[in-house]
Every structure is written in structure tokens, then in C-alpha cells.
Amino acid sequence: MSADPALSTHASEVEQYGTFPLLPEADPFYLAPLGLDRLPPGAIVRTRRIELALFGVVAQRISAWQLLYRTCDLDRVPEVAVTTVLLPWGADPTVPRPLVSFQCAIDAVASKCLPSYALRRGARAAGSIPQLELPLIASALARGWAVSVPDHGGTFGRFGAAREPGYRALDGIRAALTFAPLGLAATTPVALWGYSGGGLATAWAAELAAEYAQELAIVGAVAASPVGDPAAAFVRLNGSVFAGFAAVFTAGLRRAYPRLDHLLRTELDARYLGWLQATEVTATFPLLYRFARRDIDKHCRGGLSALMDAPELQRVLADIRPGGRAPAMPMLILQGVYDEVIAVADVDAQVARYAAAGTHVRYLRDRLSTHLLLQFLALPVMVDWLADRFAQRELAPAGTETVWSLACSRRAAPGHLDFAGLLVRMLFARPIRALRHSAPWPAGVRRLPIRLVRNLLA
């Protein structure tokens, strides 16, 4: 495999600990330095070059580094987090390019599901969602953009906590903008992007940007299936085949809110508490299998309704609901009408809160897509919208539109062919370089095979 020219621009070396990377809790790279509180938000503590791999196995020819940087938790207490920053293979760092902050759907408290671990070559993270999302990240690189992939859940597995995913994403952007090998500047256009749990983190970053990071030139945010109301999702998913999502929210929130942890230890039986303990080492998809159909009501001393009425829990549920602030940048929000995980009514209400506060929201509802498939079927729509924001093209009118499928538009067809070619390139470890992206051909699909072959040979 040839050396990537971009890697020679930075002095740090790839840290080798053997065949497999260390889990974050055992990796000294993640340790906070003394005097962290004296560093400004987004300040880089240390860096290293890494190698990415598809599902931890197929090495990817993508220029990749990790940055440990200063950020804060929901109470603004200083802490460190890691973002994985990426460039297309062989990209010239002197060429101006925008930055996308991609928030993965971590949806777990186990450290193996953090993207800084799960995306690395040799990572033992089967069943983690970030490994499924690497092709989406690569689609941004194929546009020639730089990408920041923050561990927005933090190193302590506080999944679902309010605000801090936004702080970590925004500080990760600050770190990326000052990291010389990326060739970015303080005025670099930035966009936010995430789906499901990553969409929720994106919503937090969008809401907090004007207050917390007003110097960033954020031109837009794509928050797809962004949960809407975590409390309603918890009640709806409990006892269902997706009860694992309710369990991981519980496991993450008890870490972030000490009073909630005390309440749960008092009200839940030892068996359910033991199951929650198991979430600390279990990836998302195995967790869904383990918790399928498990009902917390059967393990709660006063029943679920009494637990939900507890003041400690009510305060937490009010705190974690997004939509209380108006994002200053335009937003694209996508949601499946019959999504089996996230209720469309909850996202409708989140969009209504944003619109009432004055945010420009383009809201697209898809009738046919399932939750997992929507992020792939709607990929061309999301990437094209981001490209339009970077190019400062006119915004489509704000409002809500319900369609049968976001995958079926004529404009989306070339995007699907590009993505198919990108997947083949990733499977065969071909370099992920910036590809040319022209407008869709008026003649329809007759030239699409040419586009696919061109992308495969690029």
C-alpha cells in the first residue's frame, strides 16, 4: 500500500499497542492532562495518526488523525474528548475546503462503540453503529470535504445527557480548525450532520452554537430522525423489541445525573440493575437482542408510572428534551412517517418548536423507509443539501413536505450510483479521494452506469 502524502505533514506517529487498538479506558491517549481548566474550549491536548478500517477489518485509504481536546460536560465542568479528523486520501492541505462535523449514532455506553475506537483498524466493536456509518462519512470525503467525527457521548458513556453532546461536537470543530495538517482556518464553512442518536447530538450542537461557539461559521445542520422527545421514546420502546434503546438511555443518564442514579438504585430490583450493568461492555445490536421485550415495569418497586412521576426523573426528562433553543443556522430534518423506533409525532413537535422560535427548517417526511434504511436511502438528499449550503445556494422554502420515498427522486439517482461505487471502493481498499460531482443528467438514468464506472476507476 502506498504512503499517503498528507500524513507526512504532521510530526506525530501512529501509536502502536499491538494488533488491536486499546479500549479507551485502557489507552493513555485519552488521559486528561493536569491544568485542563486553564485551556480554552477546543484546545488540542495531544494528537496521533491512525488507520481506519471498514468493520475493523478492511483498511481504508483515508487520511486520519485523532485529536484529544478540552471540552466540558453538561454542567460546563472541563473534561477531554476525542475527535477523529479526516481528509480524502492524498488531499492537498493548502486547497480550501469546508468541514463537516459528523455525529455518529453511538447509542451505547460501552466504550467500544465510541467512533474513536470503533472506526479504527483492528477494533473489536462488532455490533456498534459507527461501523455501519463509515460509508456515510466517506461520502462526505468523496465530496472533497474535511470531516470531524467527535466522541459526542464522552469517555464516560453518558449517553442521552443534555447539552454535552453539543459542547463536545462544537469543541471538536474548534480543535479541527486549528489542526494544521487539515489546512483549515477560523473562517472555514462548517456544517453539522447526524442521524438518530447522532441527529439528537446534532440538534444539541445546533441549539448551543450561537451561545457557546458563536465564532464558528456554521452554515447548516442536517438532523435526521433526531429523536424529538427522549422521554416519550423511553416509554414507547420499553417492553418492545427495541427496549434496548430504553435501557441504554437509562444506563447513560444514571451516569450523568447522580440523583437519578440514586432513584434507580432504590426503585429497581437487583436483576434489572444487573442488566444495566451489562450495558457497560455490550455493543448496541447485541444489546437490542438481549433487552428485546424486557419491561422495566416488572422490575420497578412502584411500577413504571410511579417511577416516571418521581420529581428526580421528571427534572432529568425535562432537561434532555431538545428544542428549547432556536438554532441560528438553517436546518434540514428528515423522518420516516412509520419509523419503528422514533415516533414521527415526536419529531413533528421538535420541528414545530424550532419553527415557532424562528429557525429556518426544511422538514421532509418519508412514508416508506424504515429507521435503519432511511439514512442510506436519503443520503443523496442530505449530502446535496450540505453541498448547497457550502456553495451558498438559495435555500428551499421552510416548511414540511411528506413524500413516498426520498430515495426515488431523479436528482437522487446519481447520488445512489456514486454511493454504490464508493462502497465497492471501500470493500477493495481503494483510495477515498474527492470525486467530481456534476448536476444530474436531464436524460435520466441512461448515463448512470458511466458515472458508476468512472467513480470506481477514479
Q: What pLDDT score does 19 carry?
A: 72
Is residue 2 predicted with pLDDT exceeding 50? no
Task: Write out the three cell numbers for 303.
Answer: 411500577
Q: Stretch 214-223: mean pLDDT, rounded?
A: 98
In a domain, 10, yes or no: yes
Q: Stretch 303-314: mean pLDDT, rounded?
A: 92
- At 391, the pLDDT band (50, 70, 90 cuts) reads very high
Region of poorest pLDDT, from 194-208, 293-307, 429-443: 429-443
Task: Write out the three cell numbers for 125.
Answer: 466493536
- At 20, the pLDDT band (50, 70, 90 cuts) reads confident
Q: Give the residue among 47, 220, 62 at the shortest CA–CA distance from 141.
A: 62
Domain end (from 293, 319, 345): 319
- The answer on 81 and 218 residing in a single domain is yes
- The answer on 165 and 306 residing in a single domain is no
Whole-angstrom CA distances from 430 to 383, 423, 451 are: 21, 10, 17
Is residue 450 predicted with pLDDT exceeding 70? no
Is residue 438 predicted with pLDDT exceeding 70? no
- The answer on 74 and 16 residing in a single domain is yes
- At 437, the pLDDT band (50, 70, 90 cuts) reads low
- CB-based contact 69:45 (threshold 8 Å): yes
Is residue 282 predicted with pLDDT exceeding 70? yes
Whether 295 is catalytic is no
- The answer on 391 and 282 residing in a single domain is no
In a domain, 126, yes or no: yes
Q: What pLDDT score does 236 carry?
A: 94
Which domain CATH number covers 246? Answer: 1.10.260.130
Burial of 212 (0-12, 13-18, 19+ CB in 10 A): middle
Is residue 410 predicted with pLDDT exceeding 90? no
Q: What pLDDT score does 173 carry?
A: 98
- The answer on 237 and 177 residing in a single domain is no
Give the number of domains in the chain: 3
Is residue 196 predicted with pLDDT exceeding 70? yes
Whether 305 is catalytic is no
- At 449, the pLDDT band (50, 70, 90 cuts) reads low
In a domain, 225, yes or no: yes
In a domain, 164, yes or no: yes
Q: Which domain holds residue 424?
A: 414-457
In a domain, 118, yes or no: yes
- The answer on 276 and 297 residing in a single domain is yes
pLDDT, one tens digit per residue, over 223-268 is 999 999 999 999 999 999 999 999 999 999 999 999 999 999 999 9
Is residue 1 predicted with pLDDT exceeding 50? no
- At 164, the pLDDT band (50, 70, 90 cuts) reads very high
- The answer on 225 and 238 residing in a single domain is no
Domain end (from 319, 354, 376): 319
Catalytic residue among 116, 139, 196, 225: 196
Whether 339 is catalytic is yes
Region of poorest pLDDT, from 109-118, 129-138, 244-253: 244-253
Is residue 452 predicted with pLDDT exceeding 60? no
- The answer on 368 and 341 residing in a single domain is yes
Which domain CATH number covers 82? Answer: 3.40.50.1820
Is residue 11 predicted with pLDDT exceeding 50? no
* d(C-alpha 140, C-alpha 434), whole Å: 9
If one compares 7 and 80, the residue with the highest pLDDT of the two is 80
Catalytic residue among 10, 261, 297, 371: 371
Query: Which residues, in sequence order, are bridge partners of residue 217?
Result: 189
Domain end (from 319, 354, 377): 319
- The answer on 109 and 82 residing in a single domain is yes
What is the average pLDDT score of the chain? 91
Q: What pLDDT score does 302 carry?
A: 86
Catalytic residue among 107, 151, 171, 339: 339
pLDDT, one tens digit per residue, over 333-350 is 999 999 999 999 999 999
Tell me the backbone φ, ψ of residue 366, rounded to 5 degrees. -110, 125
Q: What is the CA radius of gyration of the chain?
A: 21
- The answer on 369 and 386 residing in a single domain is yes
- The answer on 11 and 116 residing in a single domain is yes
In a domain, 128, yes or no: yes
Q: Stretch 12-37: mean pLDDT, rounded?
A: 82
Q: What pLDDT score does 455 carry?
A: 59
If one compares 178 and 234, the residue with the highest pLDDT of the two is 178
* In the chain, % of residues over pLDDT 70: 91
Q: What pLDDT score does 14 carry?
A: 44
In a domain, 408, yes or no: no
- CB-based contact 89:109 (threshold 8 Å): no
Is residue 159 predicted with pLDDT exceeding 80? yes
* In the chain, % of residues over pLDDT 90: 86
Whole-angstrom CA distances from 91 to 95, 121, 390 are: 8, 21, 18
In a domain, 409, yes or no: no
Q: Stretch 432-448: mean pLDDT, rounded?
A: 58
- The answer on 239 and 110 residing in a single domain is no
Secondary structure of the chain as H, E, C letters: CCCCHHHHHCCCCCCCCCCCCCCHHHCHHHCCCCCHHHCCCCCEEEEEECCEEECCCEECECEEEEEEEEEECCCCCEEEEEEEEEECCCCCCCCCCCEEEEECCCCCCCHHHCHHHHCECCCCCCCCHHHHHHHHHHHHHCCCCEEEEECCCCCCCCCCCCCHHHHHHHHHHHHHHHCHHHCCCCCCEEEEEEECHHHHHHHHHHHHHHHHCCCCEEEEEEEECCCCCHHHHHHHHCCCCCHHHHHHHHHHHHHHCHHHHHHHHHHECHHHHHHHHHHHHCCHHHHHHHHCCCCHHHHECCCHHHHHHCHHHHHHHHHCCCCCCCCCCCEEEEEECCCCCCCHHHHHHHHHHHHHCCCCEEEEEECCCCHHHHHHHCHHHHHHHHHHHHCCCCCCCCEEEEECCCCCCCCHHHHHHHHHHHHHHHHCCCECCCCCCCCCCCCCCCCHHHHHHHHHHC
